Structure 1
Amino acid sequence: MREVVLVEAIKFGRAPVGRAGTALVGVGIALLSCAMPLAASGGDPQVLAKIGEAGERSWDGVLAGAAQITGAGGLLGFGVVLGWMFGREFADGTITGLFALPVSRPAIATAKLFVYLGWAVITSGIIVVTLVLGGLALGLGVPPGETAPALGRQFALGVLSACCALPVAWAATVGRSILIGVVGAIGLVIAAQVATIAGAGGWFPIAAPTLWAMSDGADVTPGQLMLLAPPAIVAAAATLWSWRRLQLDR
């Protein structure tokens, strides 16, 4: 199994999508978060009304913006990369060769999930590091001690957002397409936004992590946050089951 994971990691690391995804998610979120206070510095009432607390030139403002962006943009970015990881085998025609390998298809799918989750952890760490560097560039100074929990929640939000995107792997497999995976990722983002607007975000697994991070853990209970585990496990299991039942003729 270790060799299969290594092969998938090499494939992912050498692919432009992997590098682009790391840059866009890991660095892009921090850049956008730090850009919000700069946009608000103009004093435009409409801009201030739209970005709210994220427009404050403070660590609280930067982290509030990061949580908002990660909740939508991060989920979409993780989903697109995951959809590519599983859909590319069909798009490139390499799925045929996988049937001839001595390694089972579920083992290959498991390796892909391991690589994806490992990448998500690293990328979530990059988000935190680039946020700190961005805050220093804004002149906010070294993050105070009370900011540490918020930085920890931001890291956790990145990992949880990646877990929220796991159904995309199943969608890309069943649809045999990268595009289907991307559509699935967009659907998850829309569903989370609708649930939040409807006031059910705390009970909706895909939306709960973002609300938890944005409210400093006040608006979402640990029990609500744990509701993410069952759908994530089911999505992973459904993906492995689909790979086990793959056939070349359909």
Structure 2
Amino acid sequence: MIKCFSFILAILLFVAPAHASDLPVCGYEVVHSYPHDQQAFTQGLLYRDGHLFESTGLRGKSTIRKVRLEDGEILNKVALPPTVFGEGLTDWKNRLISVTWRSGQGFQWDIGTLQQTGTFEYSGEGWGLTNDGARLILSDGTPALRFLNPENMQEIGMISVTLNGRPIANLNELEWVNGEIFANVWQTNFIVRIDPANGKVKAVIDLTGLQKEFTAQGNEDVLNGIAYDSAKDRLFVTGKNWPKLFEINIVGCAD
């Protein structure tokens, strides 16, 4: 995905402000690592009913997948139309819902068979997607997170995400975790924990060092992919073309 975000800006927006204020900066510990398809350009990730569901990107290579956590085996996979660039993914009732980057087109899939059951349209770009149990939450590369009605896909609200009063763009993969929105910040090693009521970043999770666990293939192989198992309170993270998926605990900051 061709999105411009400088490393220097990442440092200015995250490391310096976070350490210069009372904003908690969390670390991590690896609980377990699992195999992950290194050809998967991960865009969206979720855990449900004992399996991972994953969306991958790149035109002509975008897919929706059902994956076995323990060994990374792809149990089912369907391709998106070759003209679109797959992005975020979430679940709603018996459906998976996915968005695309610049096509303004989303898809609905039967969660059991992965057969396409519908399409919808939205304005702007699509990056990440999750839900809070009542609304879909969409990121689009700007500091805005948009709320959608999951029954008709109409926009019903919006918040602007800020860190220490400064807007934060490039919010990518999203996950709803214990009443907060977790968001990967594209081309950084950070996940931000967002208050859904006001868009303020409550804490930053610094995953610097996680990529030392494997050999990356290229510059696009960045952190992107968050899944939460609410039944067992397990948090999983991975990245684009990463050969591993990690179960981690967040450490070093108050919940």
The TM-score with structure 2 as length reference comes to 0.25
The structure carrying a bigger helix percent of its residues is 1
Say which one has the larger Rg: 1
TM-score by length of 1: 0.25
| Structure with the larger strand share | 2
Tell which has more relative contact order, 1 or 2 (C-alpha 8 A, sep 6+). Answer: 1
